[in-house]
Structure 1
Amino acid sequence: MAREKYYLYRYEPSLVAAVIFVVLFGISTILHIFQAWRSKSRFLIPFIIGGLFETIGYIGRILSSHDRESLSPFILQTLLILLGPALFAASIYMILGRVIILTNGEKFSLIRQKFLTKLFVTGDVLSFLMQCAGGGIMAVAKDDQKKVDLGQRVVLAGLFVQIFFFGFFLVTAIVFQLRARKHLTSLAVNLPWMKHLNVLYGTSVLILIRSVFRVIEYIQGNNGYLLRSEVFLYVFDAVLMLAVMVSLNGVHPGEIAALLREKSERGSLVELGRPGTEAGKGGRGEAVAV
């Protein structure tokens, strides 16, 4: 029995939707570049590259809207939109490590801080490379069904790796919060670590939802329900990844980088006391190590 023909697109790619998201991702990425430069947050470089991937990926969809049989823009959008969230994840992993350093909270973490970032970023790199390899195989082998199937399996494996590490990362962050909040309550006055943890949870869940969507999409295959309508890509990928970027525009982790520099300049102590707080009673603040 002959296999069904592999189609690059089973719909007409929307020019309007692609233009809208190129503009939105582009604006958010430019803002992230400025914010990272101003706050000297080099650990956000992967996040910025992820934003560039998303922007250029949707430019590929603009090109595909004019010629949906053209292979080059299809490969461009397939790879870059697929890989962008893995780069977002790399920076998100680093945020937790910096929160732990800021609060001197390593004793509350499941994993020692010096291993935490390395572990999760290593998992993210593995996921990135697997998705890149699988996406590349699929993009250039549209007339060879065996290679297409192989590419899909490799991408699926990469997505499962991403989901596993993200799930473990969320568990690690939640355990840290539950253990630390009883002992670091006073830090909430001047050090907004909980604010950044909450944004970390939100962005992580969004990336997880997107990854699960991609898993289902690849399991269904080229003839699957999700690939027959463009709306699913925008609802479960574009909108969610834009929300990740905008969330970190609004609560930018460069604030953590600035506080870490201040901590370093002061030695190892930051004066946290304020009039009216428990630490500030008697006109003298309690020095708390952060």
Structure 2
Amino acid sequence: MSSDYELKQQLQSSCHSLVDGIGTAYGYQPSLAAGIVFCVLFGLSMCLHTAQFVWKRTWWCAVFSVGCLTEVLGWAARTWSAECPYNMNAFMMQISTLIIAPTFFTAGIYVLLGRFIQILGRQSSILSPNLYLWIFCTCDIISLVVQAIGGGMASSETNKPNGNTDPGTYTMVGGIVFQLFSITIFVICALDFVRRTLRHQLLQSMTGTIVPLLGAMVLSVLCIYVRSIYRTIELSQGWSGYLITTERYFIALDGAMMIVAVGIFNIFHPGWLLPKEDKFGRELHSAEGMEDVRLQ
């Protein structure tokens, strides 16, 4: 038993190719091709977002670049794991970064919805623009802290003989369930925004249109929501569950969903499509001035 534990510790702290009969923390050997592809895709999106927000001076869009950078780090760790499948540093790096990354995308969406409300008028939303940012970003931060605590508890147990990872796993599940709950509430609020916009025919009174950008936001939210549901079920099954040990689901329901969620804003970038004035022709200045925009 002692020799098996020592062998496991040696494999986890070094770079060793897959050994028959000895499983990895993933339950499989991560795909090198997938790691490279997603590093390239998120890297390209990051470069484009950076150029776009600098060019158009939409500084708040920097959150998309930061989120892409976090995704690149996570997929780089999975690429590392493809060559060193037992290395726990690579495993924990990809777990932490790929859980955190979507939070930057949702923060950008919260700000974007606030800008839509600022443009269309206060009657388009049940909440004020600033409340969206404060409420939902706070919820994201709380969920991330809980997940980080759970991840730390679980990782410390994996390095012990017969360590019990259940308390850490349950804590992580609690954090991601709370995140799913907060995103669900946001989706309901966003649907109410769309309903109010259509009901009051607010888009018809504008010169130009924000429909493509509004559609991009809806698609991005749906992708993040699908990913959150997947992650909740995945972690609730535990570290040896079917979803977490089957890579194709991770690639399709995490990696692919996130590249669509952030890449769509490269095509329909707020810097290009957001009007500089509200529907009454008043100039929009900053997110801090949202509360000053009212229907007359």
TM-score normalised to the size of structure 2? 0.81
Alignment of 1:22-61 (within 5 A): 22-61=39-78
Match of 2:218 among 198, 201, 220: 201
Q: Which residue of 2 aligns with 1:143?
A: 159
1:61 Cα deviation (Å)? 0.9
1:133 aligns with 2:112: no
Matched to 1:114, the amino acid is: N
Alignment of 1:92-241 (within 5 A): 92-103=109-120, 105-144=121-160, 148-181=165-198, 182-192=200-210, 194-241=211-258
CA distance 1:119–1:256, change in 2 (3 Å): farther
CA distance 1:97–1:16, change in 2 (3 Å): same
- The answer to whether the 8 A contact 1:57-1:80 is kept is yes
Deviations 1:18-42 (A, max 9, x none): 1111111111111111111112122
Following the alignment from structure 1 to structure 2, what is the Cα–Cα distance between the partners of residues 50 and 135? 20
Q: Secondary structure, in 3 states, of the residue corresponding to 1:227?
A: coil
Matched to 1:10, the amino acid is: G
1:253 Cα deviation (Å)? 1.8
1:164 Cα deviation (Å)? 1.4
1:51 Cα deviation (Å)? 0.6
CA distance 1:48–1:269, change in 2 (3 Å): closer
- Identify which range, 128-137 or 164-173, moves more after superposition: 128-137
- The answer to whether the 8 A contact 2:111-2:129 is kept is no
1:48 Cα deviation (Å)? 1.6
1:268 aligns with 2:285: no
Matched to 1:124, the amino acid is: D
- The answer to whether the 8 A contact 1:99-1:256 is kept is no
CA distance 1:21–1:185, change in 2 (3 Å): closer
Matched to 1:117, the amino acid is: L
Following the alignment from structure 2 to structure 1, what is the Cα–Cα distance between the partners of residues 244 and 203? 48
For structure 2, the residue ranges without an aligned partner over 5 or more in a row are: 1-21, 285-294
Following the alignment from structure 2 to structure 1, what is the Cα–Cα distance between the partners of residues 283 and 44? 38
Deviations 1:208-237 (A, max 9, x none): 111111111111111111122211110110
Following the alignment from structure 2 to structure 1, what is the Cα–Cα distance between the partners of residues 151 and 206? 44
1:15 aligns with 2:15: no
Following the alignment from structure 2 to structure 1, what is the Cα–Cα distance between the partners of residues 39 and 130? 37
1:249 Cα deviation (Å)? 0.8
Following the alignment from structure 2 to structure 1, what is the Cα–Cα distance between the partners of residues 147 and 103? 9
Deviations 1:139-174 (A, max 9, x none): 343135766222222221221122112111121122
Following the alignment from structure 1 to structure 2, what is the Cα–Cα distance between the partners of residues 255 and 139? 44
Aligned-pair identity in percent equals 28
- The answer to whether the 8 A contact 1:78-1:139 is kept is no
CA distance 1:256–1:148, change in 2 (3 Å): farther
- The answer to whether the 8 A contact 1:83-1:132 is kept is no
Q: Secondary structure, in 3 states, of the residue corresponding to 2:262?
A: helix
TM-score normalised to the size of structure 1? 0.82
Match of 1:85 among 92, 95, 102: 102
Following the alignment from structure 2 to structure 1, what is the Cα–Cα distance between the partners of residues 31 and 243? 16
Following the alignment from structure 1 to structure 2, what is the Cα–Cα distance between the partners of residues 113 and 165? 16
1:242 Cα deviation (Å)? 0.7
CA distance 1:161–1:47, change in 2 (3 Å): farther
- The answer to whether the 8 A contact 1:47-1:91 is kept is yes
